[in-house]
Amino acid sequence: MSKQLQALEVNRRGALKVGIGALASLAVGETILLHPGEAAAQPARPPRRPNVRGTPKVPHNYKRARKITSVCLNCSTVCGIVGYVDNGKLIKIGGNPEDPNNGKMLCAKGQAGVVISTYPERLLYPLKRVGRRGQGTWRRITWEEAYADIAKRVRACIDAGHPEHVAIHIGRSRLADIMGRFLNAIGSPVLLNHRALCSLNKRAANYATIGDVDWESVDAERCKYLLNFGSNFYEAHQGAIHFLKRVIKGRYDNGCKLVTFDVRLSNTAGRSDEWHAPFPGTEGAVALALANTIVADGNFDRDFMTTWTNTTVDALSAFLKPYTPEWAEKLSGISAGDIRRIARAFIRERPRCAAFTNRGSHAHYNGFNNDRAVILLNALAGSINQPGGYCYAESAEIPDHLFPMPAPVPAAPKIRTDLEDPPEWPLANRWQKMRVGQIVYAYLKQKRARLQVYFTYTLASPTTWPEGRSLAVEVLRDEKLIPFHVCSDVVYSETAHYADLILPDATYLERWGLDARNNYELRTYATLRQPLVPPPAECVNFADVLIQVGKRLGPEVSRYFDFRNYEDFVRLRCRQLPKGDSADGFAYMKRHGVYHNTSEPRSYDLFKRPLTKAQLDGSRTDPQTGIISKRNARGVEEAIGITMNAQALRGFKTPSRKFEVHSQTVAQAAARVKIDDDGWPHYVPIPAHQNLPEDRFILTTFKWNVHTQGRTAPQKYLTEIVHDNPMWINAATARRLGIRTGDTVEVTTYRPRGRTFDPTGQRIGSARIRAFVTEGIHPRVFAVSNSLGHLFGGRSAAARRGPRAEGPGFDPKILSEDADLTTNLWWSQADGGKGAGFNVNAILPIQPAPITGMQAWFDTVCSIRKV
């Protein structure tokens, strides 16, 4: 260690401090060396705390506790919560009974949030890098120093005429209003997200067919038959609890049948009436064969198909003719007899039936068309926006007419860059800014784009990105590719380790914000996130950081930040909300936590609703198509409805204002990148899966209900439940390979083939992992759960018992030590436990799907050998 310390370029104003003893006294201007992993105690395990059986425990006084409403963010479901705060301490989190989605229900992740604010390893002070990036040496600075440094660098980009050299890259933020405002104010379009790693194909399929802006909201409690393609909603679906409780109600109240297609026996598949395991990526083939049976039988909603789709029954029949159940059986392995039986059982329940998807269907090379084919089944059933059917609401966004942005509002920049609008994937940004986040580091390395100031916010890219431990770390470490990296985070993450400034963030339990998701009650809805407890020490919400930087960028920028802080910004957005039983709209939201307009009807038949006189004023109708158009606030003419039977109706938000089986938009986008696609939802074989040798398999991933990518591993209650992720192997496959549960195997992955990034088929990486042999997985598939295998983020995440040493903001006067992490972290590998698990994303290749750019997580080809 001494030789390494001698080589460090240490700030002369303060002596270098090392180790746990120094953390407690780190002052402004002083420097500290942090080494991930130092928390592991090398001596023999300290004795456990004595069993004090009989010592009375003092229960929490919930009657005395103050109840505060807010919104969870331990995953992206956005559940309304109530925090119980006693004597300044958060003692419990429960569901908000006024929230129309989850009500009183809350999952384990939501309830575990009580430990977040008191992480003993939280970042508490701003830190500036000293020495080489990634070396782990930091000097504590003041917030004013941090703001000044950031503002100077952003101002330099503006003055140089390159505001697009400033980017914000987010994990799970829910701060889009202020982030967009900041970037628009400085003139940069580069807001990078992780949509292509999550739900891009699913959203794109909805946009292409019904023009919706978010996930569907299946009316499950009134449904009679559910066809589930790859969704594990008992654990990890978007809106899991919201949807799950309605599925359970529908199954018990009206006998709704649930049929699941998934390569793995997930918790949802195991609770279904039927589970079918198709070969990965053939879900679209199964859906087309189901549609083929329905149309051939003639038992479908002919009125909807004739009136409200942009094709004819004859044209649809001709398109579906090759997609027979026998054809699908050869690809998927699901028998033609089962396909016909399921198709007929499903359509008998129309319109109280729904077919829906999640990653199991759409996280593929061909996932966009897979999901379009599944959505088509709902059109055939006439269940689109019907009770018990495939529904969508007015909008899943915060309604602007109720929560307008404070004026003046900066205009969106007209400039574009390859980084935020990659031309290879023309549908990535067609309907909304989805972007292709997994290629960001590759483009920076290739110098297709330049950055000077790179903000990351709760972004765990080295952990959760494909090739995160290789390409992402390589670029994050390179000071020429990313000259200035500002990281806002709660703990010392792998991303923070490669930053130049670390800003201690306020957790979601300590900050303000407006939020919304699709409302399963199908009405206008929004929620308020408010602090349950104040942030400790010098932690600051990243939204307030952007506001403070904006105020320092000169009058042409600061005029967009004429409010004190983010709380004031949120208050201004609530100014037009009806005050209800409170002094004003903001007070109403603070009291109830949610705005839910129960006086408006559910959005059934939304596409059939008449346009109002005000909507029609200034419009024109195309005599050929009946499409009604009008200039929007930007002066651009856009379709607002369609004339049907002499009535001006809303229609679908597609170019034709109808449900689009055939999409001219898709055909045009494909032509731009020279892909042969006629706009119909054809089944597209996955190139890497064709002629697969017997010794090659498909590696997939999945989530447990207690973890959310890189966010939850530091929470000891959740990681105690799931901290290990052995690889699922089918029993027959394991017997053939001589593998038993508990054996160590080496899995090797290969690059993809086809129209994607670096499609060479070459080896990408290998790793050793324990085997779990089960009947509950397809014989050609291996599965490993994600969200584990952390190197940073604290002792719980990294499974290292011992005194804390990974917290550069540690201060014993503010956050006390957790004895469990010091002596009782029983899954620590050094003490005989199973450790922190395996980071499977490290050996998964970047592989954006054609046209959309969605990461094909479930297509990775691999080989295996017993060690």
pLDDT in tens, 814-842: 888 888 888 889 999 888 899 999 999 99
What pLDDT is attached to residue 57? 67
For residue 258 the two structure tokens come to 């649930």
Where does CATH 3.40.50.740 sit in the chain?
127-198+404-509+538-588
Range(s) within the chain of domains with CATH label 2.40.40.20: 689-866
With a cut of 70, list the residues of the chain below it in pLDDT. Answer: 1-25, 32-57, 432, 434, 805-812
Q: Which CATH number fits domain 689-866: 2.60.40.10, 2.40.40.20, 3.30.70.370, 2.170.8.10?
A: 2.40.40.20
pLDDT of residue 20: 35
Cβ atoms 316, 295 nearer than 8 A: yes
| CA–CA separation, 854 and 438 (whole Å) | 9
Cβ atoms within 10 Å, residue 487:
26
Cα separation, 434 vs 187, in Å, equals 19
CA 428/CA 437 separation, integer angstroms: 10
pLDDT, tens digit (0-9, with 9 covering 90-100), for 132-180? 999 999 999 999 999 999 999 999 999 999 999 999 999 878 899 999 9
What is the predicted pLDDT for the residue at 45? 40
CB contact at 8 A, 528 and 403: no
Closest CA to 344 of 279, 272, 292, 384: 292
pLDDT confidence of residue 56: 63
Q: How far apart are CA 333 and CA 324, in angstroms?
A: 13
Q: What is the pLDDT of residue 678?
A: 96
Q: What is the dihedral angle through the alpha carbons of 824, 828, 834, 839, rounded to the nearest 10 degrees?
A: 130
Q: What is the pLDDT of residue 701?
A: 96
* Nearest CA-CA partner of 405 in 125, 637, 176: 176
Return the CATH class of domain 210-380.
alpha beta
Tokens of 435: 């972007």
Question: Where are the domain boundaries for CATH 3.40.228.10 in the chain?
Answer: 210-380
Any idea which fold 127-198+404-509+538-588 has? Rossmann fold (3.40.50)
Which helix (H) or strand (E) element contains residue 784? Answer: strand 781-785
Residue partners of 8: CB distance under 8 A and separation at least 6 = 16, 33, 130, 131, 135, 137
Radius of gyration over every alpha carbon of the chain, rounded to an integer in angstroms: 27
Contacts of residue 769, defined as CB under 8 A and 6 or more positions apart, other chains included, come to 725, 726, 727, 744, 745, 747, 784, 838
Residue 512 CA to chain centroid, in angstroms?
20
481 neighbors 445 (Cβ within 8 angstroms): yes
State the pLDDT at residue 101: 94
Q: Model-level pTM?
A: 0.93
CA nearest 148: which of 545, 569, 539, 565?
Answer: 545
Q: Which residues pair with 663 in a beta bridge?
A: none
